[in-house]
Structure 1
């Protein structure tokens, strides 16, 4: 109740033209009211002298939030009386993103290999690896991929296909039972299925422009997350699986890895990864949105990056 009263008195003293942002601390509001009243009384400022009142408020230590807003939430060692640490404002860290995603800006990424050796830098085209993220496009492309790969061999038998006689089971009238013309109807055990599924293709058409944009968005998302690695090449000195296992363990927050090469897959890399369910290898021609989303980290060779960029910039045949 006291806090509410002091807020009303403080608002009446300031005037109706100001927007008040009050603290929930009674001591802070009471002290603000006393300081404000004394400051206005000493300078003889009335309610109509807005410009003079604003200058007096600033000299008294009040901060104006906006054009005509007064803030009483002043965090200082004097006003808080130990409620807040004195160095709270100086210790506060403001985190700002390093860059804005989706500005079509070229990205510079370090190139390495399986031995974590420095192989220089590579520039990633902004129109492929830095496009705006759109979940609706990703959803459409994934639905198109899953529907296209669906087998569609489901089948049921109609009344003309089910095995059994077509003879009328009993006479039409005089039995007291419901009339029947066949024992292979859908309401009999072992009978046909009405309007059941038949083998068909579940694929539907999706514009090439949308499919291409979906792949760009997936690549841009991995690049923005820092989950895109570029290797100089994907050649291994040995086909031992333990080398790939030890390398994957070094990656932070990675459960599945997708390795993409530009040309034919190296035989040693294929042998080293074929027994690992969490490492998959693809050629650049087979890179797709669903595979990228299914894996946490994307590893691409220089050749794969160049071929993907070339593939994305190829004119669409209409």
Structure 2
């Protein structure tokens, strides 16, 4: 980061006693040295200089070139005397952190399994930078788990239990309770009253809520820095060690979800089928529950484009 030097001091460099070595017009004046408006303070010159001031100019340019290499902020409080304190700002320069949920487009680097630089990609802000809402995530996850429940559990009623229909003993005179069948729920091997029957546990959830849940899950991974975009999901071979070595190089990664735009590559399938911590999904199958189960999400460039297209498709009522 650049030094925090006020523009007023830069404009007055020409009038300082250290710069005015001669009185003729060929020397450096305050009008011939202007600070540019960019971050690193590039210098523009309006006139030619004499040989007498050339040595000073070289020193000034070298000092400005040295300023570009600085990576820390120097203020009047943290200065150790190596830089004039009157040229430094009294306040600390703090880089503002990005706020989540402002629907701003995100720029993310694109790489691959070989850690090669494949450029940048812009992620749509209305898909990858939406406000985080836990209540929406909770509703979508409950809807997913209820919808995938099989509901094949079944018990037998009194008409379905195997057994005789004869009355076990006479109605009166025995001193025992009256019974008409031995297939009742009070007998061992009898029926189950009000037991479960095969049914669907699914309930309705609006499409807008389901779509918003997926956006929130993607935004959460992008905000955590756990969203990686690959140019493609090509692997050199079907050997499992290729994926194992790549996952071991990643920091704080326990489970990895890889999403491709179309059908999964066969080599990638074979390389990950023995790894319980790496799962593959096509973009059409990406869902909230799978994203929450994995701490790192890897998506191909094609998968990102298809997810954005899917989120922008109008909902048919």
Work out whether the TM-score is over 0.5.
Answer: yes
The correspondence of residues 91-110 of structure 1 with structure 2, limited to 5 A, is: 98-110=97-109
Q: Say what the alpha-carbon RMSD is for the aligned residues.
A: 1.4
Alignment of 1:295-314 (within 5 A): 295-314=294-313
| Aligned-partner Cα distance in 2 for 1:289–1:101 | 19
State the Cα deviation string for residues 78-106 of structure 1 (Å, max 9, x = none): xxxxxxxxxxxxxxx99876200000000
Match for residue 186 of structure 1?
185
- Structure 1 distance, partners of 2:265, 2:117, is 21
Shift of 1:284: 0.4
Deviation above 2 Å: which 4+ runs of structure 1?
Answer: 93-97
The match for 1:177 is 176
1:138 paired to 2:130: no
What is the 5 A alignment of 1:1-318?
98-318=97-317
> TM-score scaled to structure 1, two decimals?
0.70
Task: Give the Cα–Cα distance (whole angstroms) in 2 for the partners of residues 312 and 135 of structure 1.
Answer: 20
- Cα pair distance change 1:94/1:153, threshold 3 Å: farther
Counterparts in 2 of 1:284 and 1:170: CA distance versus 1, 3 Å = same
Instruction: Please state which structure has a larger fraction of its residues in helix.
Output: 1
State the 1:291 CA deviation. Answer: 0.4
CA gap of 1:150–1:95, structure 2 versus 1, over 3 A, is farther
| Per-residue CA distance 1:213-249 (angstroms, 9 max, x = gap) | 0000000000000000000110111111001001011
Paired residue secondary structure (1:224)? helix
Structure 2 CA distance for aligned equivalents of residues 96 and 177 of structure 1:
86
- Tell me by how many angstroms 1:308 deviates: 0.3
3-state DSSP of counterpart to 1:197 = coil
How many residues were matched structurally? 226
User: How far apart, CA to CA, are the structure 1 residues paired with 2:94 and 2:140?
Assistant: 34
| Residues 168 and 120 of structure 1, relative CA distance in 2, 3 Å threshold | same
Relative to structure 1, the CA distance from residue 251 to residue 147 in structure 2 (aligned partners, 3 Å threshold; closer, same or farther) is same
Counterparts of 1:263 and 1:122 in 2: how far apart (Å)?
A: 19
- C-alpha deviation, 1:133, in angstroms: 0.2
Alpha-carbon separation, structure 1, partners of 2:243 and 2:146: 33
Q: Distance in 2 between matches of 1:96 and 1:187?
A: 74
Compared CA separation, residues 249 and 168, structure 1 to 2 (3 A):
same
Summarize the Cα distance change of 1:251–1:206 in structure 2 as closer, same or farther, 3 Å threshold.
Answer: same
- Kindly provide the CA deviation profile for residues 3-59 of structure 1, in whole angstroms up to 9, marking residues without a partner as x: xxxxxxxxxxxxxxxxxxxxxxxxxxxxxxxxxxxxxxxxxxxxxxxxxxxxxxxxx
Distance 1:95 1:161, change over 3 A: farther
Q: Do the aligned partners of residues 151 and 116 (structure 1) sit closer, same or farther apart at CA in structure 2, a change above 3 Å counting? A: same
Distance 2:103 2:116 in 1: 29
CA distance in 1, matches of 2:295, 2:183: 53
Q: Secondary structure at the match of 1:246?
A: helix
Gaps of 5+ in 2: 1-91
CA deviation map 1:56-86 (0-9, x unaligned): xxxxxxxxxxxxxxxxxxxxxxxxxxxxxxx
Q: In structure 2, what is the Cα distance between the partners aligned to 1:261 and 1:272? A: 15
Query: Quick one: distance in 1 between partners of 2:220 and 2:140?
Result: 15
